[in-house]
Amino acid sequence: MKGVAARYPAFDATAGQVVDLGQRINLCRRDHQKAPELAYESRDLLALSAFVARQSRGQPIAIADDARSANALMQGRKLFNERMGQLNLSCAICHDDNWGQKLGGTSIPQGHPNGYPLYRLEWQAMGSLQRRLRNCMIGMRAEPFSYGSSEFIALELCLMQRAQGMAMESPAVRP
Amino acid sequence: MKIGAALCVLLLSVIAVHAAEIATADRKSGFEFMGRDTQAMQTDDTSNPGMLNVLDGGALWSGRRARTRRRAHLVMAMPASA
């Protein structure tokens, strides 16, 4: 499974849409193992994702240039730059324009998704990129998208594409 | 009038530059924004809590769930020197 996690989200021909690593694992379970799908953020799905992603540690993020993913990528970029929530912020305002500055005493990072699923000290637990994105959206006082929504998959794709070539660190540790 | 227009163009170009994507050479992983202790926690597999999930995942992957999960926790509980 080396390098696999570095290629997701990707278009899946069977599903007919772009899927992330967790969804790909669930598709395998459903279609090849006839096993029940695992819930988002469940211990088992995070564990399997971490096991697969660990094998890509040090590998460069390699999102394929796939015309079938173009719409999702475009939607993701739009969401990244779109102002949302009561604070009227966008992802780009913090993570493109103001990275390295301080917010509430901590440095604003560039928002790269190269370590997921990761252990976050604030959570005292392992979590997915979507959980982190929900945190951000709640911080912006926006209504977070739901787990597995097309919006989140698009945003994940945009973030991975934005970090193309960066080394995977899963399972990373973050404050 | 001309000066005003020129100023507008200048201001807009500054904003456009400012809102640009991060240049490839300037990209930094979140790792680089962390303190040394947290970095060390990630780098050392015996102190990285995420490795427990990786071991759990490995057990699920090979279908040896319960037994390996117990063993995994034992391995992680051992001192780093062991």
- Convert the pLDDT of each residue in B24-55 to its tens digit: 999 999 999 999 999 999 999 999 999 999 99
Please name the residue of chain A whose CA is at the shortest distance from the CA of residue B47: A173
Cβ atoms of A142 and A61 closer than 8 Å: no
Is A49 in Cβ contact with B34 (below 8 Å)?
no
Whole-number Å distance between alpha carbons of A5 and B55: 17
Confidence of residue B73 (pLDDT cuts 50, 70, 90): low
Q: Does A109 touch chain B (CB under 8 A)?
A: yes
Judged by a CB distance cut-off of 8 A, whether residue A35 touches chain B is no
Of A96, A119, A165, the CB nearest to B50: A119
Tokens representing residue B11 in the block: 């201001």
- What is the per-residue DSSP string for B24-81? GGG---GGGGS-HHHHHHHHSTTT-THHHHHHHHHHHHHT-HHHHHHHHHHHHHS-TT
Catalytic position from the list A28, A91, A94, A136: A136
State whether B29 and A169 contact (CB < 8 Å). yes
The pLDDT value recorded for residue B16 is 44
- Global pTM reads 0.86
Task: Work out the angle at residue A168's Cα, subtended by the Cα atoms of residues B57 and A147, and round it to the nearest 5 degrees.
Answer: 60
- Sorting pLDDT into bands at 50, 70 and 90, what band is B74? low
Given a contact cutoff of 8 angstroms between Cβ atoms, the answer to whether A47 and B53 are in contact is yes
Q: Tell me which residue has tokens 């799908």.
A: A37
Residues 46-65 of B with CB under 8 A from A: 48-51, 53-54, 56-58, 60-61
In this prediction, residue B66 carries a pLDDT of 44
pLDDT top residue among A139 and B5:
A139
Walk across the sheet containing A173-174 and list its strands. A125-127, A118-120, A173-174
**Does the complex come out with an ipTM higher than 0.90?**
yes
Alpha-carbon distance of B58 to A1, in angstroms, equals 12
pLDDT the model gives residue B20: 78
Q: Which residues in chain B are closer than 8 Å to A44, comparing Cβ atoms? A: 56, 60
Cα separation, B5 vs A151, whole angstroms:
39
